[in-house]
Amino acid sequence: MNITIIGLGLIGGSMALDFKHMGHRVLGVDANPFHQREAMDLGLVEQCLPLDQAVAQSDVVVVAVPVGATPAVIKEALQHLPANGVIFDVGSTKKSICKALEGHPRRERFVAAHPIAGTEYSGPSAAHSGLFYRKLGIICDREKSAPDAVDCVEDLFVQLGMELKRIDSDEHDKHLAYVSHISHLSSFTLGLTVLDIEKDERSIFDMAGSGFASTVRLAKSSPEMWAPIMLENSEHLLEALDSYIDNLNKFKERILNRDEEGLKELMREANRIRGVLEKRS
Amino acid sequence: MNITIIGLGLIGGSMALDFKHMGHRVLGVDANPFHQREAMDLGLVEQCLPLDQAVAQSDVVVVAVPVGATPAVIKEALQHLPANGVIFDVGSTKKSICKALEGHPRRERFVAAHPIAGTEYSGPSAAHSGLFYRKLGIICDREKSAPDAVDCVEDLFVQLGMELKRIDSDEHDKHLAYVSHISHLSSFTLGLTVLDIEKDERSIFDMAGSGFASTVRLAKSSPEMWAPIMLENSEHLLEALDSYIDNLNKFKERILNRDEEGLKELMREANRIRGVLEKRS
């Protein structure tokens, strides 16, 4: 198959590599000429072309740009897509993208997707083969897409090694607010807080243990990618954030009251996350 | 040397193992008979004895119990310690422990120490050899201890593979509030928040990516260990927590105002943590 990847970052670039290894012909589209060059140098894609030219000769188009730009890119790609072509996106929010495409005459050639995979690094150089292996591939609102388009995307996801999950786009955004977006927010905030106070960076460098490194890891994530996600999913995220702040205040109150038993109780409740995480691995 | 480890958890047990491998005779003390039995079964210590009997025959005593209990245990151990014996602790807070021992007639046989090492697991079964290798070994208020006692602890830390850092106990607590204690608090809070909302644990299990696992990892930490740390270091921790909540509110405000550029700006600031973390590794 001919596959076009629009957006040659961590996700798009990693998918390009895996598709190439499967024997597909992979074309690249990226607004950033430096990323185009890098993707070519790294062998992620066979050729970089303008969007219309690449899409017009493709069976499958992957839109892997920041979520705020995704609907416009999908609409542009739908204009040039061959009759039986399929477009899917990979964004971390799904509801606003699906809403933007509601009633589009070619809506059924689009499949709203989200492979739950990634790292805190970004750009073509962060791409690597196998990123999607044993990860979850979410397909949203599949009844809005043509059955052959859904089958095509699900087949590709299975070939990438993903387990499939089908869910409504609003449900998706709600869950992701809790299991991903608020994690990023708490980690960005931790980074910011520690940098604010620890003017002497040497002390952080010196005294931070592996626990800090793990908790703050996501603070390295791309602002270009994450600011739009937080705005697109603001409704659910603000709900999660309020609940997070409430819980912080519970800790604060118990520390102020020197309520050791109360603190332990909150921590024991939080410990239940163990069972959840262990089921995952 | 004869070395007694009081508190056979992750830190005490791991130190016991390494000391045993160095050829020292290691005795164990633990208030919990189940932990005593486990430590014996795992070969962490040669023998478990009551505190007075173990300490009376020791050159070095390690106090590795929760920080709230540490001063009383040190004082009890100082009563039975041979004339030239040395006691050190390994707690995550240092100021209140040093303060509790101020003016003690045998204060100079005690060295306030903190090896920056650990995992989110606890108890004798979490102990493992090499935990301290290439970690930081902090010694606080060394002028309060006899030079030979400091030398003894520093030598042992170097033999465990640690790099030494000497710092004032109040400075220690202030830095640790930022680079460790607030990380734990944010992670416990994340665990709590997600568990609160995601009543259907299957969704967390399904949809959480590796980013969530990393950010929430410390929520698995021991309440018995962490509640006392948060109370002992409440002054600095509350300052860190207020600043953390302020920063969360900055994010919230910018999300509410749909201020994409402002969000990116905060994230870019947080990204500076990259430089700090990379220097570490």
* Residue B128 CB neighbour total at 10 angstroms: 14
Q: Tokens representing A230?
A: 């937080």
Across A236-250, A263-277, B1-15, B20-34, least confident range:
A263-277
Question: Would you say B68 and B232 are in contact if contact means Cβ atoms under 8 Å apart?
Answer: yes
Q: Tokens representing B244?
A: 């953390």
Cross-chain Cβ contact A209/B180 below 8 Å = yes
Substitution target from B271, B279, B281 for chain A, most A beta carbons within 10 A: B271
Phi, psi dihedral angles at B12 (to 5 degrees): -60, -45
Predicted local distance difference test score (pLDDT) of residue B223? 95
Predicted local distance difference test score (pLDDT) of residue B205? 67
CATH for the stretch A2-168: 3.40.50.720
**Distance (Å, whole) CA A14 – CA A129:** 6
Q: How far is B99 from chain A (nearest CA, A)?
A: 19
Q: 3-state SS of A52-82?
A: HHHHHCCCEEEECCCCCCHHHHHHHHHHHCC
Percent of chain B whose pLDDT exceeds 90? 87
Q: What is the pLDDT of residues A196-207, one digit of tens each?
A: 887 776 677 678
Say yes or no to pLDDT of B281 above 60: no
Which of B134, B163, B178 shows the shortest CA–CA distance to B281? Answer: B134
Fold of the domain spanning B2-169:
Rossmann fold (3.40.50)
Predicted local distance difference test score (pLDDT) of residue B279? 63
Residue in B closest to A135 by C-alpha: B209
**Of A135, A182, A227, which is closest to B263 when you measure between CB atoms?**
A227
**Of A209, A238, A265, which is closest to B118 when you measure between CB atoms?**
A209
Residue B271: CB partners within 8 Å, gap ≥ 6?
A: A191, A219, A220, A221, A223
Across A157-161, B172-176, B202-206, B257-261, least confident range:
B202-206
Predicted local distance difference test score (pLDDT) of residue A209? 82
Q: What is the ipTM of this complex?
A: 0.90
Residue in A closest to B194 by C-alpha: A178
Q: How far is A248 from chain B (nearest CA, A)?
A: 6
Buried b (16+ CB within 10 A) or exposed e, A166-196: ebebbbbbbbbbbbbbbbbbbbbbbbbbbbe
More confident residue, A104 or B208: A104
Q: Tokens representing A177?
A: 């607010």
**Distance (Å, whole) CA A96 – CA A173:** 9
Q: Tokens representing B247?
A: 């920063």
Cross-chain Cβ contact A207/B179 below 8 Å = yes
> From its phi and psi, is residue B166 left (phi > 0), alpha (psi between -120 and 50) or beta?
beta
Tokens 């002497």 sit at which residue?
A200
List of E strands, chain A: 2-6, 25-29, 47-48, 60-63, 86-89, 110-116, 136-140, 163-167
Cross-chain Cβ contact B220/A275 below 8 Å = no
Q: Tokens representing A220?
A: 């390295």
Predicted local distance difference test score (pLDDT) of residue A274? 86
Predicted local distance difference test score (pLDDT) of residue A280? 53
Q: What is the pLDDT of residues B117-126, one digit of tens each?
A: 988 889 999 9
Residue in A closest to B218 by C-alpha: A211
Predicted local distance difference test score (pLDDT) of residue B97? 97
Q: How far is B202 from chain A (nearest CA, A)?
A: 8
Substitution target from B170, B194, B238, B259 for chain A, most A beta carbons within 10 A: B194
Question: Would you say A231 and A93 are in contact if contact means Cβ atoms under 8 Å apart?
Answer: no
CATH of B172-280, one of 3.30.420.40, 3.40.630.30, 3.40.250.10, 1.10.3660.10: 1.10.3660.10
Question: Would you say A89 and A112 are in contact if contact means Cβ atoms under 8 Å apart?
Answer: yes
Predicted local distance difference test score (pLDDT) of residue B44? 97
pLDDT band at residue B176, thresholds of 50, 70 and 90?
A: very high
Tokens 């900055």 sit at which residue?
B250
Q: What is the side-by-side order of every strand in the sheet holding B86-89? A: B47-48, B25-29, B2-6, B60-63, B86-89, B110-116, B136-140, B163-167
- Name the CA radius of gyration of chain A, rounded: 21
**Of A206, A224, A247, which is closest to B192 when you measure between CB atoms?**
A247
Q: How far is A53 from chain B (nearest CA, A)?
A: 31
**Distance (Å, whole) CA B31 – CA B6:** 9
Q: How far is A26 from chain B (nearest CA, A)?
A: 27
Q: What is the pLDDT of residues B80-106, one digit of tens each?
A: 999 999 999 999 999 999 999 999 999
Question: Would you say B27 and B6 are in contact if contact means Cβ atoms under 8 Å apart?
Answer: no
* Longest CA pairwise span in chain A (Å): 68
Domain residue limits, chain A:
2-168, 172-280
Tokens 């809790």 sit at which residue?
A178
Predicted local distance difference test score (pLDDT) of residue A50? 98
Residue in B closest to A226 by C-alpha: B264
- Residues lower than pLDDT 50 in chain A: 281
Question: Would you say A135 and A116 are in contact if contact means Cβ atoms under 8 Å apart?
Answer: yes
More confident residue, A236 or B208: A236
Contacts of residue B218 in chain A, CB cutoff 8 Å? 211, 214-215
Predicted local distance difference test score (pLDDT) of residue B276? 79
Across B54-58, B70-74, B178-182, least confident range:
B178-182
Residue in B closest to A238 by C-alpha: B252
**Distance (Å, whole) CA B178 – CA B191:** 19
Q: How far is A148 from chain B (nearest CA, A)?
A: 25
**Distance (Å, whole) CA B252 – CA A42:** 39
Say yes or no to pLDDT of B278 above 90: no
**Distance (Å, whole) CA B32 – CA B11:** 16
Cross-chain Cβ contact A178/B191 below 8 Å = no
Q: What is the pLDDT of residues B143-163, one digit of tens each?
A: 999 999 999 999 999 999 999
Q: What is the side-by-side order of every strand in the sheet holding A60-63? A: A47-48, A25-29, A2-6, A60-63, A86-89, A110-116, A136-140, A163-167
